[in-house]
Amino acid sequence: MTKRTTGGMTRREALAALSALALSTRAGVTAAETSNNGFKGIGIQLYTLRESAREDLPGTLKRVRDMGWEYVQWSGMPNLPAEEIRAHLDDAGLTAVAAHCGIEGFENNFEEEVAFWKTVGALDVAPGGMMRDCRGSLEAWLRGAARLDAVGARLREVGMRLSYHNHDWEFRSYPEDPRTKLEILFDETDPKNLYAELDLAWVQVGGADPAEILLQYTNRCPVIHAKDVAERRLLRGRQFMPLGQGVLDWDAIFEAGQQAGVEWWIYEQDNSQGDIFECAQESYDFLKKHLLA
């Protein structure tokens, strides 16, 4: 992929400058927090295999482990008690490091919800987007940010982290504020209470540069979705691809992710042109080559 230039600099030099700026402007960041040693591993977002899991959850999880995956994010799976989820994962030799869930459970039954996800093993949790009643206006969006910040503060006290998963529409703005919705959300919340579970393909579709956004939120994106997307559109959406086969600039992304302190690279693919298990295998091999070699 051709490297773009910015203001006479190469794209690599521009990314390095942006990284230095991000680090210098974050008050209270220690040397340990800005090290490049935060990487923990790669995983698969089980939503990718949701259709297979509806038919055969144990068989699906076994195939995941046979591909080489060890870590998963629990999402889009059958609705089961926490103990059963953990048993299925243990039987397959898998470990849940993250989960997608709404924040309403934490708002209404905090202790029970915490116990549920700790039993599963997922200490990083994230809603799949802003709550529906907090999207219609800037005032509503700020109300949603306050709710997320409050839940994140309580989760921090019990050793868990709350993140926010974006789509493309968070890169739009409200008429009253020139910032993107994503910028507003993270400007109006405490970095220790709300993290950025950046979905890199949706960042690209939203018109932003995934590597630059990673650097913008240095030390605030411990879990991200590694996702690739085709340039062409489908009739009613986007065509997602195995990692490395779409339009994202992965060389720049991996470099930025290291600088930004990404801990978990979670592969996700919403749809596929062929066998989704083949896509998952190709994506595992891609991440293994670039991050585990």
Measure the N-to-C terminal CA separation of the chain; round to a whole number of Å.
22
In angstroms, rounded to a whole number, what is the distance separating the alpha carbons of residues 26 and 18? Answer: 13
In angstroms, rounded to a whole number, what is the distance separating the alpha carbons of residues 239 and 234? Answer: 6
pLDDT per residue over 115-152, tens digit each?
999 999 999 999 999 999 999 999 999 999 999 999 99
pLDDT per residue over 8-61, tens digit each?
444 444 444 444 444 333 333 332 333 345 999 999 999 999 999 999 999 999
In angstroms, rounded to a whole number, what is the distance separating the alpha carbons of residues 33 and 171? Answer: 27
Nearest to 146 by CA among 190, 204, 179, 109: 190
pLDDT, position 5: 32
pLDDT per residue over 20-34, tens digit each?
444 333 333 332 333
Mean confidence (pLDDT) of the chain? 90
Alpha helices in the chain (DSSP H): 11-24, 50-55, 57-67, 82-92, 104-108, 110-120, 138-157, 181-187, 200-205, 210-216, 250-260, 276-287
pLDDT category at 286 given cuts 50, 70, 90 is very high
Radius of gyration in angstroms for the set of CA atoms belonging to the chain, rounded to a whole number? 19
Q: How do beta strands 228-234 and 237-241 pair?
A: antiparallel
Distance of CA 116 to the CA centre of its chain: 21
The sign one gets for the Cα dihedral 258, 261, 265, 270 is negative
pLDDT category at 236 given cuts 50, 70, 90 is confident
* Residues in CB range of 219: below 8 A, 6 or more apart: 26, 29, 33, 34, 191, 260, 261
**DSSP code for 174:** -
pLDDT above 70 as % of the chain? 87
In angstroms, rounded to a whole number, what is the distance separating the alpha carbons of residues 207 and 247? Answer: 13
pLDDT, position 37: 55
pLDDT, position 27: 32
Judged against a pLDDT cut of 80, whether residue 257 lies above it is answered with yes
Judged against a pLDDT cut of 90, whether residue 288 lies above it is answered with yes
Judged against a pLDDT cut of 50, whether residue 209 lies above it is answered with yes
Average pLDDT in the 65-81 region? 98
The ranges assigned to domains in the chain are: 36-130+161-168+199-292
pLDDT category at 234 given cuts 50, 70, 90 is confident
pLDDT category at 233 given cuts 50, 70, 90 is confident
Nearest to 185 by CA among 176, 173, 200, 175: 173
pLDDT, position 293: 84
CATH code reported for the domain at 36-130+161-168+199-292: 3.20.20.150
pLDDT, position 2: 31
pLDDT per residue over 142-190, tens digit each?
999 999 999 999 999 999 999 999 999 999 999 999 999 999 999 999 9
Q: Give the SS3 label for residue 97.
A: strand
C-alpha count within 13 angstroms, C-beta hemisphere, residue 269: 27
In angstroms, rounded to a whole number, what is the distance separating the alpha carbons of residues 163 and 258? Answer: 19
Q: Are 128 and 165 in contact (CB under 8 A)?
A: yes
Q: Are 240 and 230 in contact (CB under 8 A)?
A: yes
